[in-house]
Chains A and B, each alone.
Chain A
């Protein structure tokens, strides 16, 4: 047995090296397919329909690029992007700030009622939001919040609470208790402890949750569709649906609009890529 193992060893090692190449090829093929929508969006965005039909797959030569597609698309979609930025940034910042406070409450002491409150929050993870849409609409109507961005911001903040509190609580409980006690001896209030102990130590997790939250808000279309009526208030979700319905003819312009809708995310990703990959890879969100 041991003999055959010894003689086999080098060959196995070799074959593992060899097989790595097939793995690389497979992964690259998968990645190519993953990038296909992005590639198509980019290369179609500078073509007109005629060029696209004659040359579907390859980018057209740079001197024939139709920048007018972008000029047109910017006019169409920039107001939507601006509204979406307002909603997504506000609800992400406020949502995570409140979630941090909430998690601090659960993580520091086992206060009376904290068990009940905790279960009350967790139950919401099971509650399908879809059953709530109709009464939610009526509620927003009675608050006079229909057709306002405030409605979306408030819902965004609420949506951030359950999952973020859940993740933050686990994280804050991992922080060594000595740090809190030292701060307390120095006369720090709970709020100061949150600012000076918790936040400096939870940078990566705050970043990861912020990105997830922001992405969620950026991609939301259901509530905007129900809440918003005025075209000036449209966020990307509704805006793109209207665009998709109206402009059946010029794909180049639509793709240019799609690209502009992605630009803010591209900027954010450029700055936070490392954080995001690390945050998810560390298994912080395993659950």
Chain B
């Protein structure tokens, strides 16, 4: 903890304020000022220049009746739920590695997990875009070779989706009905090295004697997971979950890079952040974009609050 200090001594140590000054100035200019400016400009019709016209709550009224904006929240909701499930593979991988008896192999698997990070995530994203390519992409190739394609065609016929056809390459990013599935499949098997390493750090606090005692009691490996391992990494799981939710809600890089600024065919990949970006930088309605950003901010704030209030973890 920082040492308490009397006001008199603090006066003598005034130079310490110089240490925080640069950070403070930067944060005020490039984080606080834009935030306040966003609130201010959401009451204006503004296209980024000096000219603006005060229109009161008109932007907010427009946002509330904006069909695209509302449906973008449905899309992002689906993606958040999918991302919740995508947290399972990293947890299981961490547990798998942790349960290995040999420390040497634990170490090497950890190193191997980190290695793929040498590919910039941006590049990984583009490689996945290539995987989705109907003719060249390897996703269709795999589905053809394994015969899953035929299965998918039958399922498609059964449910009358009309998105996957015999003899025609699957247009992952071109077919409106397949855009959300593509956004979910992306990144399979969904294991980020950072996540796994953080979970592993939490697991390290379990001693071998705990396992031995559990085995004497005839605890099976699923129970071990449920009663020993999961509780120990709950803090990390919760933290990851909050960060993931905030990240997913405000992120739109994935949708932008895979589908473009219109959200792909039929705008099915449109998410709130992308719509805000689209209104601001494509349509030039900066004031309206600010109002959309505020809606998003309030929404994220409420979710964070709910998270803090209800997703509690006993220490």
Contact residues of A with B, CB < 8 Å?
A: 5, 8-9, 12, 16-17, 19-20, 23-24, 26-27, 30-31, 33-35, 37-38, 40-41, 49, 52-53, 56-57, 98-99, 101-102, 104-112, 114, 117, 120-121, 124, 126-139, 141, 154-155, 157-158, 161-162, 165, 173, 177, 189-190, 194, 215, 218-219, 221-222, 226, 236-237, 240-241, 244, 251, 254-255, 258, 261-262, 265-266, 269, 273, 276-277, 280-283, 285-287
Interface: B253 (CB within 8 A): yes
Of all chain B residues, which has the CB nearest A8?
Answer: B218
Q: Is the CB of A131 within 8 A of B138?
A: no
Q: Determine whether the beta carbon of B30 is less than 8 Å from that of A41.
A: no
With A30-B191, A226-B281, A286-B235 known as contacts, the answer to whether A23 contacts B296 (CB < 8 A) is: no
In the assembled complex, the Cα of A252 lies from the Cα of B191 at a distance in Å of: 27
Q: Which residue of A lies closest to B240 (CB)?
A: A287
> Considering the chains assembled together, what is the distance between the CA atoms of A24 and B281 in angstroms?
49
Q: Do the beta carbons of A33 and B188 come within 8 Å of each other?
A: yes
Query: Contact at B22–A266, with CB atoms within 8 Å?
Result: no
Q: Tell me the dominant secondary structure on chain A's binding face.
A: helix
Q: Are A27 and B3 in touch, CB under 8 angstroms?
A: no
| B121: interface (CB < 8 Å) | yes
Tell which of A52, A120, A158, A282 touches B26, judged by Cβ atoms closer than 8 Å: A158
Closest 4 CB pairs of A and B: A131-B293, A283-B201, A135-B37, A102-B23
Given contacts A31-B112, A105-B16, A127-B31, 6 further A-B contacts (CB under 8 A): A19-B221, A20-B101, A109-B2, A114-B2, A131-B35, A286-B236
Interface membership of B167, Cβ < 8 A:
no
In the assembled complex, the Cα of A104 lies from the Cα of B13 at a distance in Å of 13
- Chain B residues with CB under 8 Å of chain A are 1-5, 7, 9-10, 13, 15-17, 19-20, 22-24, 26-27, 29-35, 37-38, 41, 48, 89, 93, 96-97, 99-102, 105, 107, 109-124, 126-131, 136, 138, 141, 188-189, 191, 194, 197-198, 200-202, 204, 215-216, 218, 221, 235-236, 239, 246, 249-253, 256-257, 273, 276-277, 280-281, 286, 289-290, 293-294, 296-297, 300-301, 304
B121 touches A280 (CB 8 A): no
Contact B120 A236 (CB under 8 A): yes
* Contact flag A132-B101 (CB < 8 Å), given A105-B17, A111-B13, A286-B235: no
Whether A41 lies near B127 (C-beta < 8 A) is yes
